[in-house]
Amino acid sequence: MPNSTPAGLLAAPSDSLPVPPASDRGVWSAERLDQPTLAAVRKRAAADVVRPWPVPLASAFARFRRDGDRTEYENAVWARDKRLSRAAVMAAVTLEPGWIDAVVDGMSLLCEQSTWCWPAHDDVFERGGMVPDIARPYLDLGAGEVAAQLAWIDHLLGAQLDERAPGLRARVRHEVDVRVLTPFVARRDWHWLGLHGDAHNWTAWIHGNLLVAGLVLMPEGEARNRVVGMAAEGVDRYVADVPPDGAIDEGAGYWWLGACRALEALDILAHASGGALGGDLPNSLRETIAFPHRMHLGGDWHLNFADGQARTTAVQPWDALHRAARRAGDASAAAYAATHRRPGKPLARVDGGLGWFLRTLTDADWAVAGAAGASGAVGESEVAGDSEAVSAPLPRDVWLPSTQVFLARRATGSSHGLTLALKGGHNGENHNHNDVGTVVVALNGIPLIVDPGRPTYTAQTFGPDRYGIWTMQSSWHSVPEIRGTPQSAGAEFQARDVDTFAEDAAAGIALDLAAAYPRTDIISWRREARLDRATGQVTVDEAWELDAADDPEPTRLHLIVAGAVDLSEDQVVITALEGAGKARLRWDPVTVPLTATVRELDDPYLTDIWGDRLTRLELDVTGLGPVGRLRWSLAVC
C-alpha cells in the first residue's frame, strides 16, 4: 500500500468507522440492543459513579524502575479507560446529560494525564527520569489504545460533546496530535514499525489504532491521507510477516493482539475507502483466521506456547473472528467463533477496548450467530442453544511448518481421550520460552502434561534476566535436561530433522533436540511422539547419543503435570483438572528412577489456570549411559 492514501479515496471523518453514531436511534435505542450486554454495562457503570475516578500516580509509574512492578500503574490506567468506555456506551444508549458529563470528565482526565504510555515501554527511564517527560512522548501500545479510544468516543458522541462541552473535541485532537500522530510521522525509529522484517503483534496493534485515530481526528486533506497511508503500510508489513500457514509464534493468546488487530484494521480501512483498500485478504491472513480453532483443545483450553496462556480467562472479541471468517468464507472458523456466542449472556465487555465492544454490540450477524454456550460435559464439542447447535471444528490433525507445531487427536470434532501436541521450532521466537521439543498432552480437552505459560509481567520479563523466570526456562517444560544443562535462548538453538505423519491409524512427529542445547557433546537426541488412534495411547520414544564422559552431571527427562499425581514404583496416575478423568504414565526401562518436584503457585496468571500447583516428574536416565533409549507412554485409566 502507498504511504499516502490517494486524494478523494477516504470517507469524511464522521463516516469513517463502521459503527453508527449515537444520533442514529434506530441502532442505539436501548430496546434494539442486546439486553444482557446492556444490563452488565449498566450495572458496572452505576457502580462507577459512586467512586472517585482512578488516578495513575507518579510513584506507581516510577515503581517499574524502583522494584520492577508495572501492575499498580497499569491497573489504574486500565480502570480509568474502562470506566470511560462504560460511560460512553451509557451515554450513547440513554443520551442522558449525566452520562455525557461522565464522558466529558473521563476524556478530560485523559487529556490531563501526563503520559498515555505504559511505564514498561517508556524510554524516560533510559534517559535518567523517573516520571513521564511530556516534552518527549513515547508512542507505545498504551498511547495507541488511548488515541483510538478517544477517536471512537468522538465518532460515537461528537454531536453530544459539542452541545455539552464545546471545545473538548478540539482539545482531544490537540493531545492526540502532539502525543501520537506527530511523533508517528516524525520519528521512524520506533521498534514496532517492522521496517526490517521484524514485525510482531505491536506492529499490527499500534498501526491499527493509529489508523482509527487518523481517520476520525484529522481533517480531510493531505496530512490525514499521509497518516492513514502510513498506518495502512504498517499493517501491511505485519501481514507480510505472517507465514503462509498462518501460525503465530507468540502463541494462541497473542493471535487476538496481532493477527486479529490486523484483520480489524483492514476491515476498517475497507469501510473508510468504500472497499478500494484493505478488501482483498492474502492467503496468509486467510490461513491465520483458522489458527485459533487449530490450537483449540476443548472448552476454554488451547495449545499454548511462548507467552500465550493455555486457558481463555478473558473475554475475547469472538465477533471479530466471526466477522473475519465470514469475510474469508471459512465456515470452520466461523463455527468455532459462534460456539462462543451465548444468548442470555453478555456479548462482550468493554475490557478489550471500546472499538471492539462497539463493533460487537452493533454487529447484527453476530447477534444471531450460533449457540448458547457449552453444555458442560467434559470433552463435548457441541454447544447447545436456542437455534441449531454449533460444533467446534476440532480438526483431527494440525501441522504448522513455520513454527513446527503439531497436534493430533483421535477423530475430527471430538476432544474425547488423549490429544497429543508437540512444538519444535527454535528459541528465538517472539515472546520466546526455551521450549524446543516440548510435549503437551490433553485429556478430554484439558491439558494434563502442560506448558505452564507466563506469570505476571514485570521489569524482568522483557529484560536481560528474562530466563531467570522459571516459566521461561526449559527446566519447566516437558523436555530433557541433558547432563545438567537446560536449553538456551536464541534462534540458533533449534530442532533439526523434523518429520511428521498423519494417517487414519496413527499420527506422529519425530525431531532431533540436540541443537537446542549449548553443549558440544550431544551427538543427537531423537524424540518420536505418536498417537495411536485405535487405542488412544500416546507413546514417546527418546533415543540419545552423547560423547562418553567419566562423571557426567545427571540427565533427566522432565514432564510438567497439572492435576493430582499418585506415584508408585512403576507408574504414575494423574488426575486431570476439572474432573476430566485419569491417565496412567508408564516408562520402559521401568528401572529408571522417577522423582517429583512440586511447584507451588501464587501468581494469578498461573493460579487462574492451573490452581495452586504444578508437578514436575523427573525420569533420571543417567544410568542408561551415553547411548540409550527410553519409552514413556500415557493411556486413559
Query: Once rounded to an integer, what is the mean pLDDT over residues 562-573?
Result: 95
Determine, yes or no, domain membership for 628.
yes
| pLDDT, mean of residues 402-408 | 98
Note whether 14 and 271 are within 8 A (CB).
Answer: no
Q: Which residues contact 203 (CB under 8 A, 6 or more apart)?
A: 192, 193, 194, 234, 235, 237, 238, 241, 258
Does the pLDDT of residue 273 top 90, yes or no?
Answer: yes
Residue 351, pLDDT score: 84
pLDDT at 626: 98
Asked if the model's pLDDT at residue 598 lies above 60, the reply is: yes
pLDDT digits (tens, 9 = 90+) for 45-68: 999 999 999 999 999 999 999 999
Domain of 407, in residue numbers: 397-636
- Side-chain half-sphere exposure of 254, counting CA atoms within 13 A: 23
Which residues, listed in sequence order, are joined to residue 633 by a DSSP beta bridge? 539, 586
Non-local (6+) Cβ contacts of 615 within 8 A are: 560, 561, 562, 565, 596, 597, 598, 599
SS3 category, 239: helix
* Residue 224 included in any domain: no
Q: Which of 150, 165, 187 is the last residue of a domain?
A: 187
Cα 173 to Cα 395: distance, rounded to the nearest angstrom: 48
User: Taking the CB of residue 476, how many other CB atoms lie within 10 A of it?
Assistant: 23
CA proximity to 545, closest of 464, 484, 470, 629: 629
Amino acid code (one letter) for 36: P
* pLDDT score, position 389: 52
* Encoded amino acid at 192, one letter: W
What does pLDDT average to over the chain? Answer: 94
Considering only CA atoms, which of 521, 518, 460 is closest in space to residue 488?
518
Those residues with Cβ within 8 angstroms of residue 625's Cβ, 6 or more apart along the chain or in another chain:
none
Greater confidence, 217 or 315? 217
In degrees and rounded to multiples of 5, residue 316 shows phi and psi of -100, 155
Cell numbers placing 4 = 499516502
CB-facing half-sphere around the CA of 151: CA atoms within 13 A: 32
Cα 234 to Cα 1: distance, rounded to the nearest angstrom:
9
Determine the 3-state secondary structure of 100 from DSSP: helix
Picking from 173, 170, 141, 172, the residue whose alpha carbon sits closest to that of residue 70 is 141
Residue 348 domain-assigned?
no
Check residue 383 and report its DSSP letter: E
Amino acid 378: pLDDT: 30
Per-residue pLDDT at 382: 37
The pLDDT value recorded for residue 374 is 34
Grid look-up 483458522 returns 290
Residue at 562 is within a domain: yes
Q: Which CATH number is 446's domain given? A: 2.70.98.70
CA–CA dist 401, 249 (Å, integer): 11
What's the mean pLDDT in 228-255? 95
Question: What's the pLDDT tens digit per position in 340-369?
Answer: 988 888 888 888 899 999 999 999 889 888
- Which one, of 571, 564, 565, lies nearest residue 585 by Cα? 571
pLDDT at 295 over 70: yes
> Among residues 162, 187, 212, which one ends one of the domains?
187
Q: What is the mean pLDDT of residues 414-442?
A: 97
- Measured in residues, the chain has a length of 637
Lowest mean pLDDT among 14-18, 191-195, 373-377, 576-580: 373-377
Q: Could you write out the DSSP letters of every residue in 114-134?
A: S--S-TTT-TTTTTT-SS--T
Question: Total domain count for the chain?
Answer: 2
Which grid cell sits at 630?
527410553
The reported pLDDT for the residue numbered 349 is 85
Contact by Cβ (8 Å): 266, 281: yes
Bridge partners, 311 (sequence order): 301
- pLDDT of residue 412 exceeding 80, the answer is yes
Give the predicted TM-score (pTM) of the model.
Answer: 0.94
Decide if 547 contacts 523 (C-beta within 8 A): yes
Mean pLDDT of 143-159: 98
State yes or no: pLDDT of 306 exceeds 90.
yes
Q: Is the pLDDT of residue 379 over 70?
A: no
Residue 347 has what pLDDT?
A: 86
Count other C-beta atoms under 10 Å from residue 262's C-beta.
Answer: 28
The average pLDDT across 361-379 equals 62
Residue 385 has pLDDT above 70, yes or no: no
Q: With a cut of 60, say whether residue 387 has pLDDT above it.
A: no
pLDDT at position 371 is 47
483, part of any domain: yes
H-helix segments, 242-307: 259-272, 283-288, 291-294
Any residues with CB less than 8 A from the CB of 24 and at least 6 apart, and which? none
Query: Whole-angstrom Cα distance, residue 174 to residue 168?
Result: 10
pLDDT of residue 198: 86
Task: Answer with the one of 140, 165, 187 that is the final residue of a domain.
Answer: 187
Would you say residue 229 lies in a domain?
no
Assigned domain for 310 exists: no
Q: What is the mean pLDDT of residues 541-562?
A: 97
Closest Cα partner for 516 from 497, 549, 490, 541? Answer: 490
Specify if 351 maps to a domain.
Answer: no
Instruction: Mean pLDDT check: name the lowest of 336-345, 382-391, 607-616.
Output: 382-391
Beta pairing partners, 422: 406, 439
